[in-house]
């Protein structure tokens, strides 16, 4: 579905990535993990067109494109809910901004609120609900874009461990029940191992793929599996060698 080939981006004398290549298969869950400052968020900026690439190719469904633009939905670390709107109004922003909102969209959003445990909170303002509920609302908003590919830039990093695990399961629903393809950034090795089909371990700039892991088995995976424990320790060794800021 998404193929990135020989992508290069520099800011002055800093080469963030040079001839960087990877792909996200249709229906796949690809996770990027690397040290702080390695260029992961810059990669997302280039993919979405916020920042222009210097060279290289981005292909979507087999066709070259300058960037993903409106081809992908983007869920960031902060929920970015508008405080003067209710939760349901925030969730409906993608269709209302496009001028195509309909009764069916309202029904779809209400259905997603029920599915994601937000029923009864539709008309609450963001300030009156927990951080986990705000992120659930942001997830509904992401789904309302109706895009096949979802970019996730550490969307769970600010949450407590229990809420985080619950929302990890909801991210897997994007793949298993909604048929989305996902590309996610995280600093949490266990989170990456819980969720990823393909896990790419990245280096400091110029960013490259240090190692790729193709993971199998039912998700979310259990970290008491000896094979996963071994992979986790290996990834931590790789990242600590890069002086990475990572979470076990």
Residue 180 has pLDDT above 70, yes or no: yes
What percentage of the chain has pLDDT greater than the value 90? 73
| Cα 50 from Cα 57, distance rounded (Å) | 16
- List the strands of the sheet with 55-60, edge to edge: 14-24, 2-11, 55-60, 63-65
Average pLDDT over residues 41-48: 94
Model pLDDT, residue 157: 83
Average pLDDT over residues 116-127: 94
Top-confidence residue, 233 or 166: 233
Residue 21 β-bridge partners? none
Residue of 5, 40, 36, 7 lying closest to 23 (CA atoms): 5
Residue of 50, 47, 41 lying closest to 22 (CA atoms): 47
Model pLDDT, residue 159: 81
Residue 175 has pLDDT above 60, yes or no: yes
Residue 10 has pLDDT above 70, yes or no: yes
Residue 214 β-bridge partners? 198
Nearest 5°: CA angle at 29, between 27 and 32? 145
Residue 248 has pLDDT above 50, yes or no: no
Domains of the chain (ranges, CATH numbers): 2-241 (3.40.50.300)
pLDDT digits (tens, 9 = 90+) for 62-79: 999 999 988 999 998 889
Region of residue 178 (left: phi > 0; alpha: psi -120 to 50; beta: else): alpha
């Amino acid at each position: 579905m998404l193929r990135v080939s020989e992508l290069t981006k520099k800011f002055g004398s800093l080469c963030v990535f040079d001839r960087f290549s990877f792909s996200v298969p249709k229906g796949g869950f690809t996770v990027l993990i690397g040290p702080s400052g390695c260029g992961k968020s810059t990669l997302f900026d280039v993919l979405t067109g916020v920042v222009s690439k210097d060279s290289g190719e981005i292909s979507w469904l087999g066709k070259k494109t300058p960037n993903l633009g409106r081809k992908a939905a983007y869920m960031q670390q902060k929920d970015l809910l508008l405080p003067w709107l209710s939760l349901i109004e925030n969730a409906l922003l993608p269709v209302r901004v496009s001028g195509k909102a309909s009764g069916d969209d309202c029904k779809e959003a209400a259905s997603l609120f029920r599915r994601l445990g937000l029923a009864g909170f539709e008309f609450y303002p963001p300030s009156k609900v927990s951080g986990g509920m705000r992120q659930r609302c942001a997830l509904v908003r992401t789904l309302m874009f109706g895009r096949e590919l979802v970019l996730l830039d550490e969307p769970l990093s600010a949450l407590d461990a229990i809420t985080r695990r619950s929302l990890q399961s909801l991210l897997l629903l994007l793949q298993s029940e909604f048929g989305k393809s996902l590309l996610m950034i995280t600093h949490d090795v266990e989170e990456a191992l819980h969720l990823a089909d393909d896990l790419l371990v990245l280096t400091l700039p110029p960013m490259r793929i240090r190692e790729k892991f193709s993971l199998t088995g039912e998700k979310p995976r259990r970290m008491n599996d000896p094979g996963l424990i071994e992979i986790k320790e290996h990834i931590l060794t790789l990242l600590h060698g890069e002086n990475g800021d990572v979470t076990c």
